[in-house]
Amino acid sequence: MEQPNVKKGDWIKVKADENSLGFDGYIFNIFPDGTLSVGYYQNNIKAIKEDVVWNGKHWKFKYEGPNGSYLRGPDETIVKRGPQ
């Protein structure tokens, strides 16, 4: 399946694998290769920004293991508030 058409400011579902429910991610940036920089609320504790890619079926983390950075200020507030 083709990568969905998305834009900065959209919310998407990110999944660890095909069977997971996934979580909401807020698109901060879109890179020329199709990678998205997405913010999400990890375990209702920390707002994190991490890169995701389309695998043909769903959005997933670009890298294995911890690779995100903490969000602060207005970006953190957006992610903690969640989709409206």
Nearest Cα residue to 6 out of 53, 65, 66 = 53
Does residue 5 lie in a domain region?
Answer: no
Predicted local confidence at residue 19, as pLDDT: 86
Predicted local confidence at residue 65, as pLDDT: 82
Predicted local confidence at residue 20, as pLDDT: 86
Predicted local confidence at residue 16, as pLDDT: 81
Task: Output DSSP code: residue 21.
Answer: -
Q: pTM above the 0.75 mark?
A: yes
User: What are the average pLDDT values for consecutive 10-residue runs of the chain, which has 84 residues?
Assistant: 94 90 96 97 94 96 90 97 92
Distance between CA 21 and CA 28 in Å, rounded?
Answer: 22
Does residue 6 lie in a domain region?
Answer: no
Does residue 2 lie in a domain region?
Answer: no
Does residue 31 lie in a domain region?
Answer: yes
Is the C-alpha dihedral spanning 9, 13, 2, 31 positive or negative? Answer: positive
Per DSSP, helices labelled H in the chain are 73-81
Task: Output DSSP code: residue 1.
Answer: -
Q: What is the domain extent for residue 34? A: 11-81
> Residue with structure tokens 């209702």?
44
